[in-house]
Chains A and B, each alone.
Chain A
Amino acid sequence: MPSVPIKRDVLFDKLGQKMTDEEFDILCFQFGIELDEIFVDENDPKSIVQYKIDIPANRYDLLCIEGLSRALLVFLQKIEAPVYTAISPPTPIQTVVKSSTNGVRPYVVTAVLRNVTLDQVAYDSLIELQEKLHHNICRKRSLVAIGVHDLDTLTPPFVYSAEPQTEICFKPLNQDKEFRVDELMVFYQSSHHLKHYLHITKDEPLHPVIRDLKGVVVSIPPIINGDHSKVTMDTKNIFIECTATDLTKANIVLDILVTMIGEHAKVKFEAEATTVLYEETQEVKVYPSLAYRKESIDVKSVNELIGIDITAEEMAKGLSRMTLNSKVQNENTLEVEIPPTRHDVIHTCDIIEDVAIAYGYDNIEMNLPKTSCAAEQFPLNKLTDQLRESLAQAGFTEGLTFSLCSVDDECEKIRHPRADKEPTLARISNPKTLEFQAARNSLLPGILKTIQANKKMPLPLKLFEISDVVLLDSTQDTGARNERRLCAVNYNKTPGFEVIHGLLDRVMQNLEVPFHPTQGYSLRAAQDPTYFEGRCAEIVYGGKAFGKLGVLHPEVLENFELNLLGAALEISIENFL
């Protein structure tokens, strides 16, 4: 969930009222945001109190103080939601898109804001908003990259093309000399901030670049802007360009930037329209879109879905508080207008949520559905719980260990040769540490690790676990399935094979399976490197082995740093449903 730091006093100034922290917390709770932290930046000489506010991931319009305060003012019915427009000048500023961008970053959307005044708060907010958008909807600049420029330093029209890195040379933002783009790819390796974005275009044959009429490099998205068109607090006219691989998201990002920064324009919330000409297709697009969408909703069905009963007028008023201005068409129909700040509204259900928020979730009457069903347990889980009880009654203690493990745990540590064993394991592709290399194939290593961590406990240590392991299975759509296993270990001064064997007999007795070569279960000698030679048996039922038991091999004990002796049992219980 994105979080936004907001200066408390600036916020209350914009809201036109002071609140206590508790009052603001309650307001956040009702609105659907969260006051996560109240803090003071330790590097701030003025020690300004800030709120860290958690914003839902789909509300791009709340990612800056302008948008947040505006939405809260409308929610508190102090103002009406502004109307956002884009005026077309006689000759709109144009950006021509060359076909060379097709293979790397095909789309661009642009906008202009005239006569803006940026004080320190607005300037900081602008930088922060770009960062937040870049990090979230832009997927760390890979889908969309934003460039905000001082239009007065540039000469339109603009050309958006893609060129070899060595042919683009310019002075990047905050540098004092010129670099070629290939040099920048090396130079920025040491930039704490920019090194994360280099991979997006580093190995592409052509690099995106925007130039103005005089050939001045405006930006090389998604890496950095040119220093030439740097925005300062003196900037009056702003040019915004968003290059992208996802046009839908680029549009959303542009709408957000324009509607947010538009607060600082002389004619508030009025942008200047620009055009984008795709040279290959000769298609001309006008941006920013700032589209308003209308949807009709049925008052009765909205009331029924939520479980309330309000009039069309009340519903319209509530939606207007959520910046979804609505008109009553008749007592059962509302026409809802979705503004360009609310790209999160894509279906009627999004509108319905806002009706419920305006009503207040805590005001909705709580009822129980009349749905009557006879409950059923999942048979495997029912059997598992019964067996767990039975094993505890038999004097064994339950462990709970991890499903993810290292390959070592399943191979070397239990003396299974890696070459044979590893191909049978499900493997994780992006483990952060060794502990997450594979999904476990056996419950035994987990129990042995539990004993290893509890060696000081009185003897004997008798542990068990009944849980799932993961097996590869090509008959399943995913290529794998779970198998419910039961594993038990006896750890003491003697291995206690007879103890584990006795436990097996008890479990089979619980499952009503007699000890019989054909009509029940039986044991037969087996080889398994985990167990000591001659002290290992397979357990057979219906002609097939469903588990093993045996005395643990001394090397296995050593691998788990266990100083005493042990015997173990591991079986699948799925045959016994």
Chain B
Amino acid sequence: MSKAIQAGWLKIQKEGGEPKVVRAVDSIVDTVQKNLKALSKDVTVNVDLATVNEYKKRKLMQQVTVTSYKISKGNHFTTTIEKPETDLTLELISSGDWKVKKFKTYNFNALGTPVACGHLHPLLKVRSEFRQIFLEMGFSEMPTNRFIESSFWNFDALFQPQQHPARDAHDTFFLTRPANCSTIEPTYMEKVKKVHSVGDYGSQGYGYNWKIEEAQKNVMRTHTTAVSARMLYAAGEQKPFKPVKLFSIDRVFRNETLDATHLAEFHQVEGVVADRNITLGHLLGTIKQFFSRLGIEKIRFKPAYNPYTEPSMEIFAYHPGLKRWVEVGNSGMFRPEMLLPMDIPSDVHVIAWGLSLERPTMIRYGIDNIRDLVGPKVDLQMVYNNPLCRLDKHSN
């Protein structure tokens, strides 16, 4: 009815009481009926598209699409069904059928079968690389297979005073078993005691009462420099003095606050050169050569403080990815107060530098949380996927 009213054929009268529908015109021309009749005879008749779409919308017309194909025989036409072969087989070869069979197309967009193989741990691959670099530079490996060390070798022999904060229970793991070390060579110990307490070898010393009980306390070593100290002591005992180039990469233990980048145990890398007339310039040069093997060319040195080296320097490298300078290591010349009690000749200078193994590995492989790299919570899939360790190749 709305269409009729719209077309003007009917109108509604609302005067007086009930609404009435009345004829508005005397005769009508039903265009819709006329068009539909014409279209049903011949669909190509000239009715405009808008009207046709309206009829479709009103469900007066329905569009049916009929697709037709023209088929003809192709080159490989056959009346028998054949499944394509997936691969060459020995049967196909022996029967000769390989010449006539159809072969399925390979999907080169998928990966191959993962190789069933073993894997080395990413951090330890980096360790092997560092070992290799040191060996190539002529450095010999120190025997560091000793996690429990006496405070004497870990601190006192290095001229680190007994009241130094690092010797606090907050920073260092002490042992209840074995609690103390049993023997310290007495003559050497007296020299160490003297240089700490009242000074010697041109030093003022620290001016405190050095106690043997403190030196005897065992610790989980806080640095591999304790081993370097033992090695330098042995070098001092050798007469005449022979120059040495030494390195070590091994675990150290710190009782510090743990967070995403710090664990209680990590690997320290250390290099040492002891020779006559070694200069600070030699330390800079050696460090530059070492880091260039890691693919790091831009480095700077900042004055720093270590209890056992003077001068001391922190090593900074430019990280092209992060676009800033980051600290990559620590270094210095060992103090005379440490070397002279070891009977090392006074014209022998000892340079050393160190860094952690975990930090460059995490930066190189984009690992944010150290627990994803070290310890039982490592993701083995990451270990499986880890590439060859090529430190001088930068990741993109």
- A interface, CB within 8 angstroms of B: 29-32, 34, 56-59, 136, 139, 143, 246-249, 293, 304-308, 346-350, 352-353, 356-357, 361-362, 364-378, 380-381, 385, 388-389, 391-404, 425-432, 435-436, 439, 446, 449-450, 452-454, 457, 461-462, 464, 468, 470, 472, 474, 477-482, 484
Contacts and interface: CB of A to CB of B under 8 A. Distances in A.
A478 B138 contact: no
A472 B381 CA distance: 36
A543 B174 CA distance: 37
Pairs A-B, 4 closest by C-beta atoms: A307-B281, A32-B303, A479-B178, A248-B207
Contact of B379 (A346, A376, A454, A478): A454
B39 interface: no
B38 interface: no
Contacts of A399: 121, 376, 378
Contacts of B119: 392, 397-398
Contacts of A470: 147-148
Given A304-B277, A361-B300, A480-B147, 6 more contacts: A249-B207, A306-B280, A366-B285, A375-B140, A394-B118, A470-B147
Given A347-B337, A374-B138, A462 B218 contact: no
B279 A304 contact: yes
B220 A307 contact: no
A279 B337 CA distance: 37
A356 B309 CA distance: 14
A479 B282 contact: no
Interface string B282-313: 10111011000000000011111101001111
A472 B147 CA distance: 12
Nearest to A484: B145
A328 B286 CA distance: 33
Interface stretch (B57-65, B75-83, B243-251): B243-251
Given A385-B131, A400-B124, A375 B150 contact: no
B173 interface: yes
B175 A397 contact: no
A89 to B, nearest CB: 29
B244 A373 contact: yes
Contacts of A402: 263-265, 374-376
Interface string B113-144: 00011111101100010010011111111111
B323 interface: no
Contact of A29 (B204, B278, B282, B302): B302
A238 to B, nearest CB: 26
Given A401-B375, A428-B175, A453-B378, A136 B165 contact: yes
Nearest to B247: A375
B147 A403 contact: yes
A373 B279 contact: no
Nearest to A378: B141
B181 A58 contact: no
Contacts of A249: 207-208
Contacts of B312: 353
Contact of B178 (A349, A369, A426): A426
A366 B297 CA distance: 13
Contact of B301 (A248, A361, A439): A361
A449 B376 contact: yes
B155 interface: no
B251 A403 contact: yes
Nearest to A389: B120
A88 to B, nearest CB: 25
B131 A426 contact: no
A74 B393 CA distance: 44
A395 B117 contact: yes
B177 A369 contact: no
Contacts of B138: 371-375
Contact of B121 (A372, A400, A430, A446): A400
A236 B23 CA distance: 113
B197 to A, nearest CB: 10
Contact of B118 (A347, A376, A393, A481): A393
Contacts of B377: 453
B311 A347 contact: no
Interface in B332-347: 333, 335-337
B67 interface: no
A369 B147 contact: no
B281 A308 contact: yes
A427 B175 contact: yes
A427 B303 contact: no
A397 B139 CA distance: 30
Contact of A368 (B181, B205, B285, B304): B285
B300 A29 contact: yes
Contact of B302 (A34, A365, A479, A481): A34
A77 B183 CA distance: 52
B128 A373 contact: no
